[in-house]
Amino acid sequence: MFVNVDTRRFMHHLHAILLVLEGHPQERIDALAQAFINAARHNGTVEYVTMADATDVVLIPFHEARITTNVDKKTKTTEIKTIKANEDFVKAGLKDLETKINTITLNNQLAIEELNLNVKSLFYLGVEANRVLYFEQLLKAIKLNPLYASVLTQTEVFTAKCIKLYTDKTDTSTDITFDVSGKKTLIDPLKDVMYHNFLTTSGLNIKDLSKMRDYFLTSLMDLDNNISDFLFKGQYMVLVSAGMFINDPSIKFNFGDFLKIEGLGLGDARAFLSDIPNPTTIPGRAVFIKSGDTIECPIQNIGSATEYYLIFVSTSIALDAKLKVTVIPKK
């Protein structure tokens, strides 16, 4: 069977999308799956209707998690609570807890690191689901250690207040969207069924693979390619509050790799490797990322092979830095 170059490229592109489905915005995933269901039902044959039904089953919980709801403004008043408006409260609470833990443990730095209090930004920056998880882990660690009994009540009250800042997410606009930042458990079943659909549909159209375009609208996924917040595999978004240092453990790299860093926020930043996760000074080898600019550099230029922590620091006064970091593997 002869497959023209254009169709082959489409198939490779579609295959790549399905393999990293979780890396795409949830709205696009929703649209891709629903487009397949519509096309399959339109086909009408048993094989396609069966696939449509199976896809519908796993799409329902995913769609319900991000569905928008119309609100009558005349009868319902809502309030938005964001962590940004309460960031000082969170910082102050974490600092106070750190001081008391230091007193209890006689300034044992390991204890602070085990509670993640050495990287406080984890509790108020990044994906919301992760922030909530850090608060839950903090409370659990305090509960499990009898040494911290004197601060247990304080921690329970503090974590409850902080978690509520995230769970009370409503708005005065007519569209209220559920936060699905922790969407992996919703996407995995959908990813499996969409990949099954890919294999089955390609089998049914083995004599004319160009028909695959009728069922998988990859253009729906490509619309976000030029949006600054869209992330492919190996890309990470790092938010750094003004004057703060942050170590983002989610960024995976090898010492021989290259970094591409885009300054998307208003503030400038620097990046470097460190042998500790919570440095307070910027070494001379740190690379400078100016707001609006993009830099590329070998990781070996900003540290040594024995330094495992990739540190970012916002260097602009009163301006946060927003960085899109791409890890480029060494060829």
Rounded CA-CA distance 119/245 in Å is 8
**Torsion angle defined by CA atoms of residues 35, 36, 37 and 39, in that order, rounded to the nearest 10 degrees:** 90
Asked if the model's pLDDT at residue 270 lies above 90, the reply is: yes
Based on the domain organization, do 105 and 244 belong to the same domain? no
Q: Give the pLDDT of residue 74.
A: 33
Neighbours of 114 (CB within 10 A): 16
Kindly state the average pLDDT of the residues 191-205: 95
Kindly state the average pLDDT of the residues 80-88: 59
Do the domain assignments include residue 74? no
Q: Give the pLDDT of residue 77.
A: 31
Do the domain assignments include residue 29? yes
Per the listing, tokens 């253009």 go with: 219
Q: Give the pLDDT of residue 242.
A: 87
pLDDT digits (tens, 9 = 90+) for 24-55: 777 788 888 888 988 998 899 999 999 999 99
Contact 260, 296 (CB under 8 A): yes
- Pick from 136, 167, 198: which residue ends a domain? 167
315: closest CA among 264, 247, 267, 256?
267
pLDDT bracket for residue 174 (50, 70, 90): very low
Note down the domain range covering 113: 84-167
Q: Which of 61-75, 162-176, 238-252, 295-309 has the lowest mean pLDDT?
A: 61-75
Do the domain assignments include residue 264? yes
Based on the domain organization, do 318 and 244 belong to the same domain? yes
Based on the domain organization, do 307 and 159 belong to the same domain? no
Mean predicted lDDT score pLDDT of the chain: 81
Based on the domain organization, do 122 and 260 belong to the same domain? no
Based on the domain organization, do 322 and 244 belong to the same domain? yes
Based on the domain organization, do 106 and 160 belong to the same domain? yes
Q: Give the pLDDT of residue 85.
A: 62
Output the domain CATH number for residue 302. Answer: 2.60.120
Do the domain assignments include residue 101? yes
pLDDT bracket for residue 196 (50, 70, 90): very high
pLDDT digits (tens, 9 = 90+) for 114-134: 898 988 888 877 656 667 778
Rounded CA-CA distance 157/170 in Å is 23
Q: Give the pLDDT of residue 70.
A: 34
Do the domain assignments include residue 310? yes
* 3-state SS string for 290-331: CCCCEEEEEHHHHCCCCCCEEEEEECCCCCCEEEEEEEECCC
Asked if the model's pLDDT at residue 177 lies above 90, the reply is: no
Number of domains the chain is built from: 3
Based on the domain organization, do 195 and 239 belong to the same domain? no
CA 139 to chain centre: 23
Based on the domain organization, do 249 and 320 belong to the same domain? yes
Do the domain assignments include residue 39? yes
Rounded CA-CA distance 123/19 in Å is 31
Can you give the pTM of this predicted structure? 0.39
Q: Give the pLDDT of residue 204.
A: 95
Based on the domain organization, do 190 and 48 belong to the same domain? yes
